[in-house]
Structure formats: structure tokens, C-alpha cells
Structure 1
């Protein structure tokens, strides 16, 4: 059995076993002065606002509404219908109707609001969080925490400047099983850890033809776009499909893969953005209004390790027979897939266990104590994991369309992990299985970009550096951000 075949056999075996074994396992903004801590102390009431009222916003309202001493005081969405619908739901749950507004600045202007959670489209995350922190409110913000690298760094700075609590919505950080796995690696029991991969295999169809579409009358489109460029609606569906538009979204990397690259960073104890990044892929198999790739691989090279992120959006066999998405961390003494440990022969050794906490409750706990170090997913960690997704997309966006043989030849000239070329070859096979003609619709090969991790900028590409930030659209401008 070849080394490549042997590695894939081990990965598939351990993931399948992990899937089976893992089934049984899953300072307040207005700090109270002493004279204010009366009948409600120490569990004083927190008045909370939910920004963004669709899928994740509904989860936020339900989760924060269940926390003792938390009142949902506002729900906010540029889509008036969504805001009113969520207000109806909250009223049934808590017995009081929150205010339903379209403009999040109304929330920031209300000094009685203590905390906000942000479940808006990605392009709003950073500005909404920064404005809220500067208004004296603590913040829970969904992943990816930013739309660009410089926005994420500015969020970290504002949290430090204001002393606000800011939790990233990378909830796997609250998993006790993964915490135990991270400790196992830190104790050196997995040996030398030099390689990891993330896997998002999930079929997504066309979002419809590109065109100019009528805006819903109940949506304030100016507020929906906020800091994004003012562009007409070019897709049939306004909501959710913003993920596949560079103006508002970050593709599948920012939508789902960020969860798994964050786990890899955590388990491997990686900081910074690595030494280099390379991305390959394309939006293939159909033509539609989307811009982001539906097939993509990203290679992050760190001083002594490599992470490969992999996305498949066309019909595909799962990575193994029982597992379709997740993270795999390789060490010289074994492998960790999900929260399970395997030996070098692919035999299940153990499934990690440990006490998990509710990620939303963890945020409220830190808000009450005013201790940022109690957060399971501080904004700094959210920023770094989000930034890895961003730099991967930058390489892709600067790429050129090339036939597979030319891309393979380029990869062979780079000093990259031996799994890079193998992953690319599997990508090509997958596309051909979907009858994608790579001569007529070629893949995009991004440049290998060198990174100064300390400065969070590229050393060899002014074009890539220009993507690190973007000019805001007045008045929706991130305050204090530095052009790079």
C-alpha cells in the first residue's frame, strides 16, 4: 500500500469510527455601581439586543432568552418583516415584547441596552461590533467575526481600548471533549503535530441567474448593505445568498469551514496567519449569480505545520463512508478526528470527554464578572481564524484560470506539504466525476502569497494587501481603521 493510500485509509477509518464513537459524547457595558446593586444583585438584569433576525438571530434570541436574568429588549433587522416576526416569537417566550427596529444605531443610542449579539450578514459584523463596544455594550458576534483582515484586527483593538467583553461565535471552543483533545496534544502525547485538514463537503445548487432583481418593499436596502458597496441586487434571493457575493460574504470558507480551521488552530496551538497561503478552485458545474467558489482548497503553511482547507459544493462522495465534514489533526503518534484519538494504524484509542458549557451562557458569565479571560472564544481568536479564511480567499481572487496539468506543475515547484498535490488531484477527479470540463471551464489557481504574520500583511503582493481592508461607504465606516 502506498504512503498516500495508506494515509487516506487511516483518515477514512478513523473518521468513520469517530462518527460512531462521538455520538454519545457533544465587565457589563454599564457596570453596576455599588449603590445600583440592590434587589437584583448579584444576578442583575441584563437587557440584550439581537441584531439580525433570520437563522442565527432566532437562535440568539432563544438562547439568550433562556439565560437567567437576561431580557431580550430589542430585535433589529433591515427587513422589517423579519424583525416583527422575531419580536412575536420573543414575546411568546418571555411574556414581554421587545422593540423591533430596522436600524442598529437605535440600539446603540439606548443606554439601557447592556449587551448585543450580532447575527447579521458577514459584511456588517465588524462595524456593528465596534459601534456597540464604543457605545459601552458587550458583544457576542457570529463567525466570521469580520469581512476583511483589518476589520478583525480593529475589533481586537477596540475591545482592548474600551475594556468590553467580545465573544466570537465559534462555539466549538466551549466543547469539553475538544478541550481535552487540545490538552492531550499540548502534553506531547500525539507526538510531532505537523499536518491538519478541514473538510466541508455539502452539495449546494445554483442560486439562480445573474440579473437585476426587484427589492422587497419591507427591506431597507441601504441599511442592509451598510458598509458594503452600494450595488443593485443581482440574485433572485436577497437573504442567505449574500454568502456567495464578495461584497457581502466570504464563501464557504467563511460560512462553515471557519469552525474547523478554528479547531485546528486551537488543537495545534497556532497563532498568527502563517508564513504563506495558496488557494485553488472555482465556481463550477453551473453558471449563476454567485461569485465565490463552490470548489476550493486552501493551503496554509506555518513554520512547522500545514493546514489544508477543502470545500466541495457539487455532488460528492463523503470523505469517508460515515463522515462528511470536520477536522483531522495528524501527529507522529496518531491522529485526532473530531474528538476521537486513533493510533497510526487507524484503530480507535479513545473518544475524549470533558464538561462542555453553553457558549451563550459563557458570554453572559463573562459579562457579569467583567473578566475577558473567562471567555471561551475571545475576539482575538475569532479574528485570527476568520483571517485565515480571508487570506485564502485573497489568493483565489488574485488567481488565473489554468488547465489542471499546469496547476499540478506549479504545485510541484513549491516547497509545500506532500498532501497538497494529492488533495489537488482528488479535487480534479471529483470535478471530472461531476462531468466538469476543465478545459472549457478551467480552475482558478491563486498565487502563493508570503505573509508577515506579525504585521498581518503580505510581503510580495500589493494587490493582496489592497484586499486586507476596504473603504467604507459613508456613514458606515469602521472608525480608526488603518489603510494598508
Structure 2
């Protein structure tokens, strides 16, 4: 039996294991993997926590353009590993280190593509947070860079590595609820108003020029950094890319669909009147050539739960329904709504993500990073390679494009989802860049 298959089956047979025990199932005699973590004011801290549980991984560098975030990352890495990594403001300065194997990227969205491409060009493997690009063209460039430079690029859609979600996908594909044809996902939060920002002096601790990187330049305002950039189109991609990526990816995976034929979106900034540019309420619908459909609803400012969870999805089939309410679990009902199967916990799921309380927590983060390390060390397949992950993110971008253009998008699946006969919408396939910062493969 292949070692990876044995480990996966072992996971399925255990009711609940602690993270150290789970990671301890895998020991490697191979050399140490040296990694740099880029961006430590949010998800990057979760990267450090997850990597610290994997044997023979050295966090060699912590990189961030803001001094306090940099210090947080360095201190956490030292606390978790017993070794203090080097603190670096500009990650580009470390790419010439021949002993550096990989980077993980948890910067704002507008940096994901350029950082990934530069790392691939320097011969580094990459773990990059979702969304993989700020726009569809960037996702395509990232996939192109992975191929051209023969690098492993894994996106942070962690559910691709979660044992119960993986089990649910297998059951769906084996036909436990018959032919599946519709997925319905949601995300709900209780985000407050960001107010109206005022032009202000750039904090002395922040390199605002480097923070903006490839994005066209804007004056510093006091309501953008460290988190609210998500809701401005110049840097962010809205809730659908920020969180909807996960459920949309799971639904696409289970329904076995890729590029859509039709995309519509309804919504707006309804909850508050402020600087927030993206939608806080949105429902996006996708139709696929296989005769299947997906919808996703986001409510950034109303936390009412569905199926007992602030996030999740349902998969509908001819013979029943599969329900997920956010974590690594599922329930399956027959056509009479009788519960016929329910998953049991396979990993300890304590959540430590203070930025996103509905984040996965250390154990479920770690299994995805473990797959990334396994791919580098042993050549096992990535669970979320950029070539496939980009397609899920493309769906999210298409939802935003439909919303921003207030139009129905007709897409061509044979041309990787290109929008047909709509110049305004296709103009949002890419973006303008600060001169000299354009991503190129």
C-alpha cells in the first residue's frame, strides 16, 4: 500500500486524535525544509503555528513591511520552535538564498500573484493564501509560473486536505446521494462599519510604498491597514474571495465542475454607509455545462447561522442531500430527509485564529501544510495545486465582475471561462498596475 494511502486510511479509522499525535504519524529521515513566512499581521501567524508542528521544518525568515507585525511573527516562531528566525522587511531580498526551499504568502490579496511569481522564478516552492490572485489574469499567471519554473504552488483552500471533507467527496463521487446537480453555500459574519477614512501621515512603523507594491498608488488613510483593505477594490476582493472561496471550492469539487456558462450576482453595500466598496450582502449563481448549478450567499454584517453554522454548504442529489456547516464534518440525508450517515471527528479542532473566528484552527491548518511539505520531500501530489485552485477563485472573481458590471455574464468553458461579448466585464479580467510592478512570467 502506498504510504500516503495508508496514512489517509489511518486517519479515517481514528475517532479523534490530538494534533501532535496526528503529525507524529509521519516521520521523515529527509533533510530539513527551510521556509520563509511572508506577511504576519493575520493568517501568517497561523502559518507559523501550523509549520511549527511539522518535524524538520525550519522557519528561517519572517517577512513583513510593518514593524509590529514583523515582531509578532518573529516572537511567535521563536516561542513555537525555540529558534529565532531572521526578521526581513522586503521578502525579495531573501530570494537569492539557495538554502531556502519555500515561502508561504499571507500578504494582502494584491501581492499574492507577484510574490508567487517572483518566488517561483527564484526556484522556491510556494504556499499562498486564497484568493490566489487579485483578478482572473493573475491566477492564470500564477499557474503559468508554476509550470514554467517547475515549482510546487499550493493554495490555502485547506478543506482539500481535511479528512472528513475528503471522505465526503469520495462518498458523493461514489453516488451515496445519486447524481448531484446543485450546491448551495453561505458565509455570515458580524462585521462593523469601517467609517470614513481620513488622509493621515503614514505610521513610522509601516513601509506604505512596499505595502502597496503592484497596486496603483493611493494616499494613506486611517481605515485601511491592517484589515479593512479587504473591502477596497484597489487591494482587496470582497467577502466572496476572502471567505466564499472555501465553500465554492468544496461545491465545485463535489459536483465535479470547472468553468461556468453563466454567472449572475445580486447584492450591495446595504448594512452601513461608509468607505466599504465591495458588497456586504451578495448572492451569486453559477450554471455549468454539465447541467449543474451552484449558489453562494455572503452576509458580512449579519451573523444568522444556517444549519447551525456561520458558514457551510449543501449538496443536493437525486437520492438525498449532504450538509456541511463549516467544519470538518458532514451529515447525509436520504430523499425522505432521514439521516443516514454522519462523520465523526478525526482531528482536534480547537480554533486559535483571532483574526477570523470561523477559521480552521491549528490542526486543520496543519494537515494542508503537511501535504505541502510531503510534496516537496516525497513528491506526493498537492491537494490544492494552483492550476486547479485558480479555477475556484476564478468563480469568485466572476461573481464580483457580474456584480460590479450589474450584468449577466455568459462565459465560454472551452476558453477557460472567458466572458463573451462584454468588453466592460472582460476589462476586469485583469487590472492596471503601478508602473514597474507588473507581474510577468
TM-score scaled by structure 1?
0.78
Alignment of 1:118-197 (within 5 A): 118-197=105-184
Say which of 50, 56, 62 aligns to 2:49. 62
Structure 2: gaps spanning 5 or more residues: 1-14, 18-27, 325-329, 348-365
Distance change in 2, residues 1:174/1:354 (3 Å): farther
Which whole-Å deviations, capped at 9, do the CAs of 1:367-417 have from their partners, x for residues lacking one?
112x3x521111122211111100100111112xxxxxxxxxxxxxxxxxx
Alignment of 1:412-423 (within 5 A): none
Q: Secondary structure at the match of 2:414?
A: coil
Q: Which moved more, 1:83-92 or 1:241-250?
A: 83-92
Larger Rg: 1
Once the two structures are TM-superposed, the CA of residue 191 in structure 1 deviates from its matched residue by 1.6
Structure 1: gaps spanning 5 or more residues: 1-23, 27-40, 400-446
Once the two structures are TM-superposed, the CA of residue 212 in structure 1 deviates from its matched residue by 1.9
Say which of 359, 373, 377 aligns to 2:368. 359
Structure 1 Cα separation of the partners of residues 32 and 334 of structure 2: 50
Structure 2 Cα separation of the partners of residues 469 and 25 of structure 1: 45
Distance change in 2, residues 1:354/1:43 (3 Å): farther
Q: Does 1:332 align with 2:323?
A: no
Say which of 396, 406, 413 aligns to 1:453. 413
Distance change in 2, residues 1:300/1:241 (3 Å): same
Matched residue count: 393
Aligned equivalent of 1:478: 439
Distance change in 2, residues 1:159/1:316 (3 Å): closer
Aligned equivalent of 2:393: 386
The answer to whether the Cα contact below 8 Å between 2:16 and 2:346 also exists between their aligned partners in 1 is no
Q: Secondary structure at the match of 1:249?
A: coil
Q: Secondary structure at the match of 1:143?
A: coil
Q: Does 1:300 align with 2:286?
A: yes
Once the two structures are TM-superposed, the CA of residue 146 in structure 1 deviates from its matched residue by 0.9
Alignment of 1:59-98 (within 5 A): 59-98=46-85
Once the two structures are TM-superposed, the CA of residue 353 in structure 1 deviates from its matched residue by 5.7
Once the two structures are TM-superposed, the CA of residue 57 in structure 1 deviates from its matched residue by 0.6
Say which of 338, 360, 366 aligns to 1:347. 338
The answer to whether the Cα contact below 8 Å between 2:181 and 2:317 also exists between their aligned partners in 1 is yes
Structure 2 Cα separation of the partners of residues 390 and 222 of structure 1: 26
Once the two structures are TM-superposed, the CA of residue 110 in structure 1 deviates from its matched residue by 2.0
Which whole-Å deviations, capped at 9, do the CAs of 1:2-22 have from their partners, x for residues lacking one?
xxxxxxxxxxxxxxxxxxxxx
Q: Does 1:102 align with 2:117?
A: no
The answer to whether the Cα contact below 8 Å between 1:179 and 1:354 also exists between their aligned partners in 2 is no
Once the two structures are TM-superposed, the CA of residue 319 in structure 1 deviates from its matched residue by 2.5
Distance change in 2, residues 1:479/1:237 (3 Å): closer
Once the two structures are TM-superposed, the CA of residue 250 in structure 1 deviates from its matched residue by 0.8
Structure 2 Cα separation of the partners of residues 392 and 210 of structure 1: 27
The answer to whether the Cα contact below 8 Å between 2:263 and 2:286 also exists between their aligned partners in 1 is yes
Structure 2 Cα separation of the partners of residues 25 and 184 of structure 1: 20
Once the two structures are TM-superposed, the CA of residue 202 in structure 1 deviates from its matched residue by 1.4
Say which of 402, 427, 435 aligns to 1:466. 427
The answer to whether the Cα contact below 8 Å between 2:62 and 2:87 also exists between their aligned partners in 1 is yes
Structure 2 Cα separation of the partners of residues 367 and 316 of structure 1: 39
Aligned equivalent of 2:24: none
The answer to whether the Cα contact below 8 Å between 2:184 and 2:314 also exists between their aligned partners in 1 is yes
